[in-house]
Amino acid sequence: TLHLGIVGYGLVGKELVNQVLASAKGLESELGVRVEVAGIARSKTMVLLKPGSDGGLDGGAWPAGEEPVDLEKMGSHLLAAAAASGGKALVVDNTASDAPAEMYEKWLAAGASVATPNKRAGSGPYPRYEKIMAAAAAGGSHFLYEATVGAGLPIIFPLKNLIRAGDKVEAVEGIFSGTLSYIFNTWKPGMKFSDVVKEAKDKGFTEPDPRDDLSGTDVARKVTILARECGLKIELGDVPVKSLVPDALQDWSPADGANLGDAFVEEIKAYDDEM
């Protein structure tokens, strides 16, 4: 049995759980592996599930038995379930935040694998990155982060394999932001910048905080991740980017309870003339 811990239960987390439940039978017959959701965490609360009780998650429901979020406790719950079944533990981090990344080292060292599109570990402080990589090697576990660059396209592992096979990287070229590419290709003279950003956000192209796209931070994160794959010990700040976020909004926060993305799109309307 593969015991899954899901961190983040928004659009992506719910969809993932639905897909896991829908595919579980096929995976069991094809690969001989039972896949079970053993815990779900969101920003303030979590639920740890007993073996065989993940049917209650159907349709993205939030199960009963909620308690305050404690990622360390969730990890122990998964590892105990894996030990009991003779299986494995895997944490899927669907967030874009730093809190789960702080836990990766511990999880991996204890033998739980981590799969995530979250770019915080790969582009965060180099010493933490190095510890995470070492923990996976020491724990016999896997740190799976292919989706941090290029989404569903295989970029990172093919690059890693080319380098392992003795190739030298001379340059990496590409469009590193679908969001910025969409914005630059959609904007035409006479259009309001804020309208184009709103469109990109409504289509689901932006990061949860659109400033990560507009500031170039998201691009810089991906460049950092690929540069580290090529052996460069660089930090996020070493990647030069030019920000499109108005100075006044760089430290802005939305009102309590407001959706960050929606509120930000309202806020930048005031800066359309500058763009």
Residue number, 157 or 184, with CB nearest to a copy of itself: 157
**Binding residues for a copy of itself, how many (CB under 8 A)?**
16
> Which residue of 164, 168, 188, 242 would you call a contact of a copy of itself, by CB under 8 A?
164
Confirm or reject binding of residue 152 to a copy of itself (CB under 8 A): yes
Partnered with residue 36 across adjacent β-strands are: 3
Query: What's the closest the beta carbon of residue 162 comes to a copy of itself, in angstroms?
Result: 8
Residue number, 68 or 152, with CB nearest to a copy of itself: 152
Query: What's the closest the beta carbon of residue 31 comes to a copy of itself, in angstroms?
Result: 7
> Which residue of 165, 171, 175, 255 would you call a contact of a copy of itself, by CB under 8 A?
165
Confirm or reject binding of residue 84 to a copy of itself (CB under 8 A): no
Region from 43-51, 122-130, 163-171, 210-218 binding a copy of itself, contact rule CB under 8 A = 163-171
> Which residue of 51, 65, 140, 154 would you call a contact of a copy of itself, by CB under 8 A?
154
d(CA 200, CA 196): 6
> Which residue of 11, 162, 248, 258 would you call a contact of a copy of itself, by CB under 8 A?
162
d(CA 53, CA 39): 10
Of 155, 137, 135, 133, nearest to 146 by C-alpha is: 155
Instruction: Report the site for a copy of itself in 12-71 (rule: CB under 8 A).
Output: 19, 22-23, 26-27, 30-31
d(CA 89, CA 207): 28
Q: Where are the alpha helices (DSSP H) in 111-177?
A: 120-123, 126-139, 156-164
Please say if 222 is a catalytic residue. Answer: yes
Q: Which of 25, 73, 222, 242 is catalytic?
A: 222
Buried b (16+ CB within 10 A) or exposed e, 175-206: ebbebbebbeeebeeeeebbebbbbbbeeebb
Give CA angle at 95 (89, 99), nearest 5°: 80
Please state the separation of Cα 151 from the chain's center in Å.
Answer: 10
For 83, the 3-state DSSP assignment is helix
Query: What's the closest the beta carbon of residue 233 comes to a copy of itself, in angstroms?
Result: 15
d(CA 217, CA 137): 29
Q: Catalytic residues, which ones? A: 222
Residues that bind a copy of itself (CB under 8 A): 19, 22-23, 26-27, 30-31, 152-154, 157-158, 162, 164-166
